[in-house]
Amino acid sequence: MKELIVRTSFLIPAALVTSLYAATLYLLALPDWNFERPDTARVTDQTLADPNEALTFAFSGNAGTSTEDRQLLLVTSVSPAQATAIDLAPHLPSGQHDAFDAINILGWEALVRLGATGQSEVYPFDALLPVSDAQAHVAFGTNFASHGEEVANETPFAFPRLLQPSAPTSELAVDTRTALMDYEVELCMSFDRDIASLTEFDSARKAVFLCGDFTDRAAMLRGMPDGEDTFSGIGFTDAKSLPGAFPTGPLLVIPQDWRSFVASEAIATELDGRSMQFTEGSDMLMDFRQMVGFALEHGNQDNWTYQGAAVPLARDGVIRRGQVVLSGTADGVLFRPPSRRTMAAHIGGYLLLGGFLSGDTPRRYIIEQFIENGIDEKAMLQPGDTVVHRATRLGTIKTTVVSRANAQ
């Protein structure tokens, strides 16, 4: 009996100390999802690119319009919510043509003259179609130093995105019981030909446009390999290839000098009216030529996976006409990786509160607890949120978050 009393008198304080320790560590972990996010600068001056330096196009048509029925427009003026544009169909031979075709057929100078004198109409951005309809793309992460710093990964990396772009005004359905949905604003580029070498890149016409990039951070974290110290891009394809997660801007701009245009273009994100992201193309670590070079060099490697199967970055080592290269984003996203105190907190739970009984490795246990905390705290995008991406000369993207259960 005496031995039992001694053992009990030892266990009770030990249990109390363990519980207090675990609770303290748990509270220390919470700021990962509840930190201050300062306001950033805004894009307030949205205008049309100088037609002598860059021609601006758009596509109109009914939702669900097939590629063959899209209406090619030459944009003559823009505001934050609409474009004034000329239908190019009467000026082109019969058949389906894209913006590159229009330049080749009519000539740059003729399009500038048409834009100054032609009959135009007003097209609200919410009536315009995606400027790309390809279904496989090359994306880059942490290609802006500010974003690399905030997510503790300062080396750019690449991954394939496998989905068709959605319209500039659209809805994103999210199941907030399982997903941690985040936003990013990006510059995007496509080409007038297949790109299999940097020589072809240099000779190609380039189209630049604004993109939104939405990511399920829960899927991203679960898909990352064990032991990964820096982001490799593995796990990102599943997390970023979700319906509605890739809206493209309403305007497609073909500049004479792509380097100058990209470097001077400002892009930004607003969440429910609050400024969250702002950067300029000049802040990119790798420019589009370097990104394409990386994609061509590594395109056929099967390091990446999608729905459990290996996928290449660029099939056959070629970026096809219409496929998109995404620049990466700036700082100001909602996600932050688990901090050291969070990892310490959950290791305490793993060792002291029976987390090891889950059968997970310590790393997987930390990830699952981190995800669970984020979901509980409603730290990421929620139904009713409105995300607006803006650019100086590339228009506006507006995405409304809805509950997946209520989505049409």
| pLDDT digits 0-9 by tens, 367-396 | 888 899 899 999 999 999 999 999 999 999
Task: Please answer whether residues 77 and 56 qualify as being in contact, where contact means their C-beta atoms are separated by less than 8 angstroms.
Answer: no
Can you tell me whether residue 111 is helix, strand or coil? helix
Task: Please answer whether residues 132 and 324 qualify as being in contact, where contact means their C-beta atoms are separated by less than 8 angstroms.
Answer: yes
Neighbours of 387 (CB within 10 A): 24
pLDDT of residue 383: 98
DSSP summary character for residue 355: G
Q: Are residues 169 and 298 in the same domain?
A: yes
Domain assignment present for residue 112? The answer is yes
Q: For the chain, what is the mean pLDDT? A: 88
Q: Are residues 181 and 258 in the same domain?
A: yes
- Distance CA(26)–CA(341), nearest Å, equals 9
Q: What is the largest CA-CA distance in the chain?
A: 102
| pLDDT digits 0-9 by tens, 17-59 | 555 555 555 555 455 676 778 889 999 999 999 999 999 999 9
Domain assignment present for residue 43? The answer is no
Q: Are residues 259 and 399 in the same domain?
A: yes
**Residues 229/150/305/245 CA torsion (nearest 10 deg):** 170
- Distance CA(145)–CA(154), nearest Å, equals 6
Q: Are residues 316 and 402 in the same domain?
A: yes
Task: Please answer whether residues 88 and 73 qualify as being in contact, where contact means their C-beta atoms are separated by less than 8 angstroms.
Answer: yes
Domain assignment present for residue 221? The answer is yes
User: CB neighbours of 2 closer than 8 A, spacing ≥ 6?
Assistant: none
Can you tell me whether residue 367 is helix, strand or coil? helix
pLDDT of residue 381: 97
Q: Are residues 176 and 288 in the same domain?
A: yes
Neighbours of 35 (CB within 10 A): 10
Domain assignment present for residue 44? The answer is no
**Residues 48/51/56/61 CA torsion (nearest 10 deg):** 100
DSSP 297-344: HHTT---EEETTEEE-SSGGG-B-TT--EE----S--S--PPPHHHHH
- Distance CA(303)–CA(309), nearest Å, equals 10
Domain assignment present for residue 12? The answer is no
Task: Please answer whether residues 283 and 146 qualify as being in contact, where contact means their C-beta atoms are separated by less than 8 angstroms.
Answer: yes
Task: Please give the tally of structural domains in the chain.
Answer: 2
- Distance CA(7)–CA(10), nearest Å, equals 5
Q: Which pLDDT band holds residue 342 (cuts at 50, 70, 90)?
A: confident
Domain assignment present for residue 391? The answer is yes
Q: Tell me, what CATH number does 385's domain have?
A: 3.90.850.10
Among 99, 127, 155, the domain boundary falls at 127
| pLDDT digits 0-9 by tens, 67-119 | 567 899 999 999 989 999 999 999 999 988 999 999 999 999 999 999 999 99
Q: Are residues 394 and 376 in the same domain?
A: yes
Q: Tell me the residue range of the domain where 63 lies.
A: 54-127
Burial of 303 (0-12, 13-18, 19+ CB in 10 A): middle
| pLDDT digits 0-9 by tens, 206-259 | 999 999 999 999 999 999 888 776 778 889 999 999 999 999 999 999 999 999
Can you tell me whether residue 287 is helix, strand or coil? coil
φ/ψ of 212, rounded to 5, equals -100, 145
Span between the terminal Cα atoms of the chain, in Å: 68
Write down the pTM of the prediction.
0.90
Q: Are residues 172 and 122 in the same domain?
A: no
Position with higher pLDDT, 3 vs 363: 363
pLDDT of residue 171: 97
Of the candidates 121, 125, 118, 155, the residue with the CA atom closest to the CA atom of residue 140: 155
Q: Are residues 195 and 112 in the same domain?
A: no
Task: Characterize the bridge pairing of strands 325-326 and 386-391.
Answer: unpaired
* H or E, element range at 208: strand 206-212
Q: Which pLDDT band holds residue 6 (cuts at 50, 70, 90)?
A: very low
- Distance CA(408)–CA(399), nearest Å, equals 15
Of the candidates 188, 187, 244, 189, the residue with the CA atom closest to the CA atom of residue 215: 244
Of the candidates 184, 160, 220, the residue with the CA atom closest to the CA atom of residue 389: 184
Q: Are residues 62 and 211 in the same domain?
A: no
User: CB neighbours of 386 closer than 8 A, spacing ≥ 6?
Assistant: 271, 272, 273, 398, 399, 400, 401
Q: Average pLDDT of 175-182?
A: 97
Task: Please answer whether residues 68 and 98 qualify as being in contact, where contact means their C-beta atoms are separated by less than 8 angstroms.
Answer: no
Q: Are residues 217 and 314 in the same domain?
A: yes
- Chain-centroid distance, C-alpha 392: 18
> Which residues are registered as beta bridge partners of 391?
267
